[in-house]
């Protein structure tokens, strides 16, 4: 009798162990947290004061790239969030809220939990954000009738005073209306670049009053105390309506998407952080390229195309910086997303996954990145529906101890 009970106990323990093993195998192994800003809030309750704007937190499966929500969504701290940025140590997240004209700082816990810490109110509408490589400066571009680049000092993530501020105006066309669209800072901390277009010369459906070329990149060298000084020959012509830009991790190239001309423009960075066009450019993109991201190795470039609902993948020739379209093994160059992707990001640690925020699809699309060819394959169960509507931005934060990928030219 005792022996029979013992066998039953052993059998039950064995079954429990097998079930636990199966369940653990089904669980997502988190390698990153994915944060998404949406303009339609789902946070309700009598005690809630959350306006239309929230941040949703998702865990990324390290094998499949699939995502699942791990924390409740939190208020973005304002209305109509349009941009996100993280500090180099991934401990701080910043969100730009367009309607409230503020920047809100969140602390990022190891578990991915976000805590609202502080904020700053701007005199004009924020458009895009970037954090310096040393984590000491937050760059904000703002304005709807005039364009301004402001550098805020950061102390342990807290937003401090204005270190430097410059207005983006065209030489010879000081009265033109400049509309800023993006900002990026070099990894070495030496310079920051801003894209903008001249609405006085490019205004579909409206009147124009200027003969100036419409698309521009403004370059600024970063000096002592964060003081910004125009780089030689700045600003640089950049197509018709530049929509976004990114610098490679080796501080040698800057890439700009031209929304109106369906193309990618490449620049080399030279003495004094001056920009010059890369050879054989510009390069074809999909319809209405909206955002751009580069993998942490500096080998691959990804552009989201809002009109086509696709992602274009490029392989960067490291000696020259020339991007060439990466062709999938099936022969297809089309990587379909959900409707109207407006933001794209590569996971920053291992560079294995690419995600887009799909504004009209109310979702995130995921792709697995081939580290040899740069081609993309859709992740399991993509696209992933969101709780809030109209996502506008997304960022990824590494979780745990794993080496980052870098490239040596």
> Rounded to an integer, what distance in angstroms lies between the CA atom of residue 151 and that of residue 222?
10
Per-residue pLDDT tens for 96-120?
A: 999 999 999 999 999 999 999 999 9
- Range with lowest mean pLDDT among 42-46, 164-168, 267-271, 381-385: 42-46
Asked if the structure places residue 96 within a domain, the reply is no
Contact 202, 233 (CB under 8 A): no
The domain tally of the chain equals 1
Torsion angle (degrees, nearest 10) of CA 298, 300, 303, 304:
-110
Cα 242-248-252 angle, rounded to 5 deg: 100
**CATH code for position 243:** 2.130.10.10
Does the pLDDT at position 403 exceed 60?
Answer: no
Per-residue pLDDT tens for 293-325?
A: 999 999 999 999 999 999 999 999 999 999 999
Asked if the structure places residue 376 within a domain, the reply is no
> H helices of 259-330, where?
none
> Rounded to an integer, what distance in angstroms lies between the CA atom of residue 292 and that of residue 247?
10
Asked if the structure places residue 176 within a domain, the reply is yes
Per-residue pLDDT tens for 223-246?
A: 998 999 999 999 999 999 999 999
Q: Note down the domain range covering 259.
A: 122-284
Asked if the structure places residue 160 within a domain, the reply is yes
Q: What is the pLDDT of residue 404?
A: 54
Asked if the structure places residue 24 within a domain, the reply is no
**Which of 277, 162, 181 is closest to 228 using CA atoms?**
162
Asked if the structure places residue 382 within a domain, the reply is no
Residues in the chain: 409
Helix (H) or strand (E) holding 10: helix 2-26
Asked if the structure places residue 234 within a domain, the reply is yes
DSSP state of 308: T
Does the pLDDT at position 369 exceed 90?
Answer: yes
Q: What is the pLDDT of residue 195?
A: 98
> Rounded to an integer, what distance in angstroms lies between the CA atom of residue 27 and that of residue 64?
11
pTM confidence score: 0.90
Average pLDDT over residues 52-66: 93
* 330: confidence class by pLDDT, cuts 50, 70, 90: low
What string of DSSP letters covers 38-87?
Answer: EEE----STT----S-EEEEEEEETTT--EEEEEEEEE-SSSSEEEEEE-
Per-residue pLDDT tens for 127-181?
A: 999 999 999 999 999 998 889 999 999 999 999 999 999 999 999 999 999 999 9
Between residues 281 and 17, the one the model is more confident about:
281
Asked if the structure places residue 37 within a domain, the reply is no
Q: What is the pLDDT of residue 329?
A: 59
């Amino acid at each position: 009798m005792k022996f029979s009970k013992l066998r039953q106990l052993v059998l039950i323990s064995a079954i429990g162990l097998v079930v636990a093993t199966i369940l653990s195998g089904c669980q997502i192994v988190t390698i990153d947290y994915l944060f998404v800003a949406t303009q339609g809030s789902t946070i309700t309750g009598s005690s809630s004061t959350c306006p239309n704007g929230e941040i949703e937190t998702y865990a990324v499966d390290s094998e499949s790239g699939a995502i699942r929500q791990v924390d409740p969504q939190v208020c973005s701290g304002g209305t109509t969030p349009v941009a996100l940025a993280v500090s180099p140590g991934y401990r701080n997240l910043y969100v730009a809220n367009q309607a409230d004209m503020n920047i809100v700082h969140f602390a990022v816990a190891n578990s991915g939990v976000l805590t609202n810490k502080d904020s700053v109110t701007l005199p004009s509408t924020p458009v895009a954000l970037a954090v310096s490589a040393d984590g000491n400066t937050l760059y904000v571009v703002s304005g709807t009738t005039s364009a301004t680049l402001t550098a805020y000092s950061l102390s342990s993530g807290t937003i401090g005073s204005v270190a430097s501020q410059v207005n983006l105006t065209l030489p010879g066309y000081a009265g033109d209306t400049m509309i800023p669209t993006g900002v990026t800072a070099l990894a070495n901390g030496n310079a920051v670049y801003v894209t903008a277009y001249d609405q006085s010369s490019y205004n579909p459906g409206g009147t124009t009053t200027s003969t100036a070329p419409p698309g521009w990149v403004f370059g600024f060298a970063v000096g002592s105390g964060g003081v910004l000084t125009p780089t030689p020959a700045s600003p640089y012509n950049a197509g018709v309506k530049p929509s976004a830009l990114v610098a490679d991790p080796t501080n040698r190239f800057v890439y700009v998407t031209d929304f109106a001309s369906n193309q990618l423009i490449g620049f080399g960075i030279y003495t004094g952080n001056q920009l010059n066009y890369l050879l054989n450019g510009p390069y074809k993109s999909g319809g209405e390229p909206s955002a751009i991201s580069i993998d942490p190795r500096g080998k691959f470039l990804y552009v989201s195309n809002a009109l086509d609902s696709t992602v274009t993948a490029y392989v960067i020739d490291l000696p020259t910086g020339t991007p060439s379209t990466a062709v999938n093994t099936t022969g297809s160059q089309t990587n379909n997303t959900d409707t109207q992707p407006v933001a794209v990001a590569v996971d920053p640690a291992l560079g294995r996954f690419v995600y887009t925020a799909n504004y009209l699809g109310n979702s995130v699309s995921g792709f697995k990145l081939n580290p040899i060819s740069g081609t993309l394959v859709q992740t399991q169960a993509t696209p992933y529906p969101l709780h809030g509507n109209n996502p506008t931005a997304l960022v990824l934060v590494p979780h745990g101890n794993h080496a980052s990928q870098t490239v040596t030219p």
